[in-house]
């Protein structure tokens, strides 16, 4: 925890970003994630529904993308993450993917070539385009 706080102070990123980078580094060393890219994006959709992503890793070998979302609290006390809280956090990431998918579908219907690097909101779709994934459907 102290390492994360020290890194946050040194880089000026904030403790959540430092936590995500630190844990992603751990997952890369364990060969769970390949080529992690921190890419914080959050917003609010219809009916004030929140979405968020903290980063991603694209695996060129099997053409899969892992998305990362964190619920980090810099307090020193231990916390228990309940199933309800975990489901809420996961839903923010799932909603992010649904927004990207529906935005990509609308662009495709209007004849926009998404693989050409077209820029539109949400900016998260640009992240997927860089890896040749113009539309990504959540499971």
139 occurs within a structural domain: no
DSSP class of 112 = -
Q: Which domain holds residue 80?
A: 2-93
111 occurs within a structural domain: no
| CA distance to 2, 4, 114, per residue, from 125 (Å) | 34, 29, 9
Q: Which of 44, 107, 98, 46 is nearest to 67 (CA)?
A: 98
| 134 within 8 A of 115, measured Cβ to Cβ | yes
Domains in the chain: how many in total?
A: 1
Distance from C-alpha of 39 to C-alpha of 30, rounded to nearest angstrom: 21
From first to last of its 139 residues, what are the pLDDT tens digits of the chain? Answer: 667 766 656 766 777 888 888 888 899 999 888 888 888 888 898 899 999 999 888 888 888 888 899 888 777 678 888 999 999 999 999 998 888 877 766 666 655 444 333 333 344 445 454 444 433 333 3
76 occurs within a structural domain: yes
């Amino acid at each position: 925890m102290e390492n994360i706080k020290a890194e946050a102070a040194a880089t000026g990123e904030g403790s959540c970003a430092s936590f995500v980078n630190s844990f992603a580094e751990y997952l890369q060393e364990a060969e769970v994630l390949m080529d992690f890219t921190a890419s914080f994006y959050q917003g609010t959709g219809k009916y004030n529904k929140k979405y968020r992503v903290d980063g991603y890793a694209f695996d060129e070998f099997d053409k899969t993308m892992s998305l990362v979302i964190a619920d980090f609290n810099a307090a020193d006390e231990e916390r228990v993450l309940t199933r309800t809280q975990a489901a809420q956090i996961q839903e923010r990431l799932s909603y992010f993917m649904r927004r990207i998918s529906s935005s990509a579908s609308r662009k495709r219907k209007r004849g926009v070539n998404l693989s050409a690097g077209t820029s539109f909101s949400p900016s998260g779709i640009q992240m997927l385009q860089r890896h040749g994934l113009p539309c990504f459907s959540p499971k």
